[in-house]
Amino acid sequence: MTGQKIDGIVVSASVKERVKSAVKELAENGIIPCLATVLVGDDPASATYVRNKQKACADVGITTKDHKLPSEFSQKEMNSLVNLLNNDDSVHGILVQLPLPGQLDEFTTTSRISPLKDVDGLTPHNIGLLTTGRGILKPCTPSGIMELFEYYKIPLEGKNVTIINRSNLVGKPLYNMMLEKNATVTTCHSKTRNLKEYCLNSDIIVTAIGNRQKFILTEDMVKEGAVVIDVGTARLDGKLVGDVDYENVIKKASYVTPVPGGVGPMTIAMLLKNTVTAASISKEFVQSS
């Protein structure tokens, strides 16, 4: 029996519908949610991602403020820009597209964002809330993955999960979210010994490497009936590919996310959701003050 494709386009569309109604409701209260995007440099892939995020915002009625900075933008200038956006009441969410060029430190930059506008969930405040199970603004890619599990009613409780990634944007927050759902979670990385053993012992594998030369998740690494979530994105001969050997893995797995059309669209949908959440929090703050 062959497994089922997890369709990120369908699930992201349903998230976007919910966001759309929330935007309408906010508008009735005089709030137009606004996301400020910050892009430094001229990497074409990053520019495309930001453009896609802005387009998705427009689809659901969220306005955007576009900040494009030269590749030599300094840390000092970045700090001023973040301060400015923090203090701008018309801005509800701030997205600093990563990676940043060498002279800019990612932690210095993202930790400066107001936790109330931190739609990537990257500030120490929001990381702390997440690790104690009280997260409100949570990183978009892991939130999107959790949304897929919910939509397909795939249980996490008591399951063995292997996450092949330890980044602040994906692996670490996802670890906490899955732990909160009572899964037994293992984080693997480049220094892990016997990766295949961890994978074969897993009910759920999440992989986010994004380098086919370094790593491909093949069917011999997957337990019969496992769920496989592919967060990898790389270009191979101009084509977008993930970490997973999809055609073969799906013959053995119960569910697999494709690339494209899996986790990617969910990441964008959850950014919209976080922006609406941030706009709602701002309203509560205005009302209570």
DSSP letter for 151, please.
Answer: H
Q: How much is the CA Rg of the chain, to the nearest whole Å?
A: 19
The SS3 call for residue 243 is: coil
Candidates 6, 22, 50, 100: give the one binding Mg ion (CB under 5 A): 100
Least Å distance between CB 258 and Mg ion? Answer: 31
Nearer to ligand GUE, 120 or 203 (CB): 120
Cα separation of 138 and 145, whole Å? 12
Q: Is 97 designated active site? A: yes
Measured CA distances, 110 to 6, 190, 206, 280 (Å): 32, 25, 25, 21
Q: Is 165 annotated as belonging to a binding site?
A: yes
**Catalytic residue flag (residue 54):** no
Smaller CB separation from Mg ion, 120 or 230:
120
Active-site option among 54, 117, 120, 172: 120
Q: Residue 57: which of Mg ion, ligand GUE, none does it interact with, CB under 5 to 8 A by kind?
A: none
Question: Is residue 234 involved in binding ligand GUE (CB under 6 A)?
Answer: no
- Rounded CA-CA distance 68/245 in Å is 37
Token representation of residue 242: 């993930």
In the chain, the amino acid numbered 124 is P
Closest CA to 265 of 110, 126, 148: 148
The reply on whether position 97 binds ligand GUE by CB under 6 A is yes
Shortest Cβ contact with ligand GUE: which residue?
A: 264
Interacting residue with ligand GUE among 62, 259, 269, 276 (CB under 6 A): 259
Q: Is 103 a catalytic residue?
A: no
166 annotated ligand binder? yes
Do the beta carbons of residue 63 and residue 33 sit within 8 Å? yes
* Per-residue interface string for the shown chain with ligand GUE, residues 103-132, x marking contact by CB under 6 A: -----------------x------------
- 57 is a site residue for ligand GUE (CB under 6 A): no
**End-to-end Cα spacing for the chain:** 59
Cα angle 137, 138, 141 (rounded to 5 degrees) comes to: 140
As annotated, the binding site for NADP(+) includes: 165-167, 233
Known catalytic residues are 53, 97, 120
Q: Where on the chain is the footprint of ligand GUE (CB under 6 A)?
A: 49, 52, 95-98, 120, 140-141, 233, 240, 259-261, 264-265, 267-268
